Structure 1
Amino acid sequence: MEHGNALLLQVAVYFAAAVIAVMAAHKLGLGSVAGYLLAGIAIGPWGLKLIEQPEAIRAFAELGVVFLLFVIGLELEPHRLWSMRTRLIGLGLSQVVGSIVMIAGVALLFRVDMRVALVAGMALSLSSTALALQPLNERGALGTQGGQATFAILLFQDLAVIPMLAALPLLGESSGWSGFSWQGIGFAVAVVVGTLVLGHFIARPVFRHIARTRLREIFTAFALLLVLGIALLFEKAGLSMALGAFLAGVLLAESEYRHEIEAAIDPFKGLLLGLFFISVGMSVDFSVLLARPWIVVGLIVGLFILKSLVLWLIAHLARLPTSERPLFILLVAQGGEFAFVILGLAALNDAIPEPTAQAITLAVALSMLLTPFLLVVHDRFIAPRVVDPVERAPDQPEPGKVIVAGLGRVGQVVARLLNASGFHPTVLDDDPDHVEQSRQFGFRVFYGDATRLDLLRAAGADTADLLIIALDERESITQLARIARANFPRLRLIARAHDMRHLFELRDLGVEMVERETWLSALKLGETALAVSTQDPERAQRAARAFAEHDHVVQAKLYAVHKSAPDAHITVSNELRDQLKRTLAEDEAEVRGKLAP
């Protein structure tokens, strides 16, 4: 019980430090990452000493990076990843190799041992995925050319960690091929192939079966189990856990359950990612800084300068917009969390002296700590002064981003019309069998309850142009309209109404574009009936047209009454009905007068 209380006390300390530090950081305009890092320093061995052993949570905290890469993989469909292959290899390979050569070359000029120079070059060439992607997401810059270049380099770095770790035993004192194992290579290949098979042939049917049970907590549990299981397998095979999670996300990116999975994972990702940053802050060993201050400062300055030179050349050759280059360079120039792994394993294999590894580790940690503060400098002083020299040509107009909620009788017609017109909406529906059938006909349908705020965010409601509410239940339509209007004020809404009173209810919520679900079909049926009865199709068309125009007047007048004097609704309805009779009779008399000889 005492152990349980101690664990609860640690958890309470982490949460309290995170809440206080992040709120203070936002108040100062520093961003959440800086808050988490400062919280780690405050409660760690060099602060209030509330947590004495930061290593105890490091492995658990690294799951935040794992979940982050999984969610990013969910948003990157395989065909998009394949389309990035040139950028991935070109930019990523140039950055990693260029940084290693530059850093190792400068180290050799200072007469550093070749092996130490190579290990330092490999460790310092890497960047923090979490620290780079979080600011991009917060600024909405992940879709820009600079954001895509940053993501491609970070993804290649995750891939490059594998051969780096494999090379470390060869750089040790007992260098040779003793660290090489065909069995290990075979196991790693088997894990990758197994992940591909699991994601494509097994995971989706399991998600479909769980969705039919309508038990949301089981859906969340399996999503967490899938990510954790694949991450553990990749770690067992000596591969990057984050890379395994990313691969699993890519495989599920085309799944109909993609947005529901993302909504289930997102809260855990945010908490664990914050815990990771706290652990980085706690791991900063200031004793090394006090003992060798100029060496540590020199490493930090050299790291930013050398990597920035490489990144500036890459940005120039890749023709990134001038305004996006400073952020691109700043986010990739910092050190990364995988440097801790490489330096620790290198010291264990005697490829680098322990004091040197400690100094470089501290330099990497401090570079990560400095990055949020440098971002503030960038946002306030650099970004406003850096503009593209030539105004960019306007992009070709693309179809607006559209979300359709509900794929029943109404939603199907809406989605088919949009698809046929070149607009490809994101469709949400909570019937797994319906979703599976619709995807076979080419619809981009995803399973989930559209009235859930987290699912709407996962579907892109923050950046979408239009939400079409085509749900079947009246209460669900109203609930979704209320949620969308409250949380996405710039999102335009089109809603399906059951009747006139429901239309007024939606108008009261601020939904300006509302269509009654049976009105057009009823009008067409009435026109057909009148044409058959009178044997005069033209008269039927005139009557239907007059009725439609009259109905718009009715809507406006009844809505005004609904707002000012609800009790007068019946009286006004009767007056308007009599007015319609007179209008149709006058129209008929006028037509007959024109036809008379």
Structure 2
Amino acid sequence: MLTLQNSGLSDALVILGAAGLVIPAFARFRVSPVIGFILVGVLVGPSGLGALVGQSPWLYYFTISDVHSIEPFAEFGIILLLFSIGLELSFRRLWAMRALVFGVGAAELLGAGLILGGAFYLTGLSTGGSIGLGLALALSSTALVIPIAGTTSAVGRAAFAMLLFEDLALVPIIFLLGALAPSAGDAGMWGLLQTLGAGVMTVAVLFVGGRFLLPRMFAQAARTKSPELFLAASLLVVIVASLATAAAGLSPIVGALIAGLLIAETEYHGEVEAITAPFKGLALGVFLITVGMRLDLRFVGENWGALLGATMLVMLVKVAVTMGLLKLSGARTGTAAETGVLMASPSETTLIVLGVAGAAGLIAPGTGAFWTTVTAIGLTATPLLAKAGQTISRLIEGSTPTDGTDTLVDEAGPGAVIIGFGRVGRTVADMLNRHNLPLLAVDADIDNVNAARRDGYRVLFGDVTRTELVDQLRLGHAKALILTMDDPVLTVRLAKRVRAWVPDLPIIARARDAAHAAELYRAGVTDAVPETLESSLQLSEAVLVDLGMAVGPVIASIHEKRDEMRKSIRLAAGLERDPRLRRSRMSDAKE
């Protein structure tokens, strides 16, 4: 037991050390963290420093000698990645992409698989082995491509559509290889049909149950105002959906994608995405470390020519097929080229298919090891392929971005952003609506959010104390930020953070009193409105009108008094000079 615990602690030390020390060092030199994680896997894996544990036992605490011990964490990282992708989608958007997913996506997988499989067959490999290797290498990496390309640009949408079809096709591919195994008969195909039927029923149950249960479950979690409970509910949904599809014979990542899609249709998707982001990044890093551990440096050194040639062959075939299909579908040449290069390397799921093909006896162990190494090399090169694709796209299209128009449409600013949707925030929203100005509101009280959404307001549920959620509001594209929260400390902190990020954004904040307003001005707000100031001015206006004063002069004097008091607050904040001091200095200068 002690040895097992020490093994777990040493593995955790390596992983956290990579995330906390090595990756920031790569980021400082503008090198992709993906490469950093993979190189860490090579360094601390069984073919790196792990091979020296026998001579230097102290290295045991800084290496990972058993790759399989951390594979469950890597798989969970891929599940969280697909879950986050589902959160960025909606059923309407997915339906709009159906031609890309089931048209271009299917043609890309089958076309690349057919060409690669045909090449393997001509070299003497069996029919089943050729099909298995061709389909395995035709897959592309969801785990690396989507974080690089996103899902909103033209390149990101095209890549995501093809990757989505590949993820859906993974289970049929696995069962097809099982049916092609020398020991399989009619039972193999019958098992495939049974799995597909069970999978369809499971997906239907998830969709129907999720529609009714998820909003109620997250509403209860939101009312507790406990981030821990909200996180637990989010992870519970992911795990249950993944286990359900796995039990039906489908891939767990299909369940994770469905869970994300269901939550994306609720008002909680922003908060869920923000609260699960750190776990996704760390778990994905674990997966990349396992990829690096699969690289045997001695094997690479002995066979570098064949490995390099095989890697280039796979990439060239996939670039040609992907680019050609996207051009036929109407994509711009630059977009097609960039997407093709980005999708050129094999996938993390390639390793799964290779393992299944080896277990089914379709390929020899040596062949599987060779192509596993090719896959690891290709995954390592993915960030470099992304840079190369962008360069090629710019050369083809000139100085005009290939997907600039699409990105601007998808990243259009939300207009005015109101944080806090109580009585003050709702009043501000009413005035903006009266003047036909677009707005987006955020509030941490789920009952306020539900009531506002029923009344037709565009309100999101979220906790703005989380930096990730504020980043998702795209304040760089907003017209103004209005802070109406009844939390003086949070208002000041948020104003400082946003002002440092977006220097030119108008920020209008609610203040409790003159002292709080002065603090907000120092934090960088454009205008601070103290509640005590406005209530006293409204009271003064009512008194003067009731005493018989004309409304016009009263309103003018109220405006004059408001300007005077605001100047005094800005003076107290150190943002304006005292005019009396200015006149005194001018007199001294004349003398």
Q: Does 1:454 align with 2:468?
A: yes
Return 519-528 or 169-178, whichever deviates more.
519-528
Amino acid at match of 1:427: A
Q: Does 1:514 align with 2:528?
A: yes
Counterpart residue number, 1:146: 155
| Counterpart pick for 1:161 among 170, 178, 184 | 170
Counterpart residue number, 1:122: 135
Return 124-133 or 199-208, whichever deviates more.
199-208
Specify whether residues 23 and 216 from structure 1 end up closer, same or farther in structure 2 by C-alpha distance, changes over 3 A only: closer
Q: Does 1:276 align with 2:277?
A: no
Amino acid at match of 2:36: G
Amino acid at match of 1:39: V
Counterpart residue number, 2:12: 11
Q: Structure 2 matches for 1:137-536, cutoff 5 A? A: 137=150, 142-179=151-188, 180-181=190-191, 183-286=194-297, 288-289=299-300, 292-377=303-388, 382=392, 385-388=395-398, 400-418=414-432, 424-461=438-475, 464=478, 466-489=480-503, 491-517=505-531, 527=541, 530-531=544-545, 533-534=547-548
Deviation at 1:460, TM superposition (A): 4.1
SS in 2 for 1:62: helix
Q: Does 1:136 align with 2:146?
A: no
SS in 2 for 1:46: coil
Deviation at 1:524, TM superposition (A): 6.1
What is the RMSD computed on CA atoms of the aligned residues?
A: 3.1
| Counterpart pick for 1:103 among 105, 116, 119 | 116
TM-score under structure 1 length normalisation? 0.85
Amino acid at match of 1:413: T
TM-score under structure 2 length normalisation? 0.86
Counterpart residue number, 1:556: 567
Q: In the TM superposition, what whole-angstrom CA distance separates every residue of 1:446-495 from its partner, at most 9, and x where no partner exists?
A: 33332332332344446655432111233332232233334555654222
SS in 2 for 1:403: strand
Deviation at 1:368, TM superposition (A): 0.7
Deviation at 1:308, TM superposition (A): 0.5
SS in 1 for 2:397: coil
Specify whether residues 110 and 219 from structure 1 end up closer, same or farther in structure 2 by C-alpha distance, changes over 3 A only: same
Percent of aligned positions that are identical: 32
CA distance in 1, matches of 2:434, 2:254: 38
Q: In the TM superposition, what whole-angstrom CA distance separates every residue of 1:10-48 from its partner, at most 9, and x where no partner exists?
A: 210222234443234224432110100111011111211
Specify whether residues 541 and 436 from structure 1 end up closer, same or farther in structure 2 by C-alpha distance, changes over 3 A only: same
Counterpart residue number, 1:21: 22
Specify whether residues 524 and 128 from structure 1 end up closer, same or farther in structure 2 by C-alpha distance, changes over 3 A only: same
Q: In the TM superposition, what whole-angstrom CA distance separates every residue of 1:200-240 from its partner, at most 9, and x where no partner exists?
A: 21222122112222322122122222212222222232222
Amino acid at match of 1:84: M
Amino acid at match of 2:419: A
CA distance in 1, matches of 2:430, 2:575: 40
Amino acid at match of 1:149: A
Deviation at 1:246, TM superposition (A): 1.3
SS in 1 for 2:508: strand
CA distance in 2, matches of 1:312, 1:193: 35
Counterpart residue number, 1:64: 77
CA distance in 1, matches of 2:380, 2:286: 14
CA distance in 2, matches of 1:264, 1:32: 21
Deviation at 1:510, TM superposition (A): 1.0
SS in 2 for 1:196: helix
Deviation at 1:515, TM superposition (A): 3.6
- Answer whether contact 2:545 2:554 (CA < 8 A) is retained: no
CA distance in 2, matches of 1:206, 1:191: 20
Amino acid at match of 2:129: V
Deviation at 1:63, TM superposition (A): 1.1
Return 395-404 or 245-254, whichever deviates more.
395-404
SS in 2 for 1:563: coil
Specify whether residues 288 and 476 from structure 1 end up closer, same or farther in structure 2 by C-alpha distance, changes over 3 A only: closer
SS in 2 for 1:30: coil
Return 415-424 or 442-451, whichever deviates more.
415-424
- List runs of 5+ in structure 1 lacking aligned partners: 573-597
Deviation at 1:269, TM superposition (A): 0.7
Deviation at 1:421, TM superposition (A): 5.7
Deviation at 1:416, TM superposition (A): 3.8
Specify whether residues 165 and 259 from structure 1 end up closer, same or farther in structure 2 by C-alpha distance, changes over 3 A only: same
CA distance in 2, matches of 1:464, 1:65: 33
Specify whether residues 354 and 562 from structure 1 end up closer, same or farther in structure 2 by C-alpha distance, changes over 3 A only: closer
Q: In the TM superposition, what whole-angstrom CA distance separates every residue of 1:37-65 from its partner, at most 9, and x where no partner exists?
A: 11101111121112222122122212111
- Answer whether contact 1:527 1:541 (CA < 8 A) is retained: no
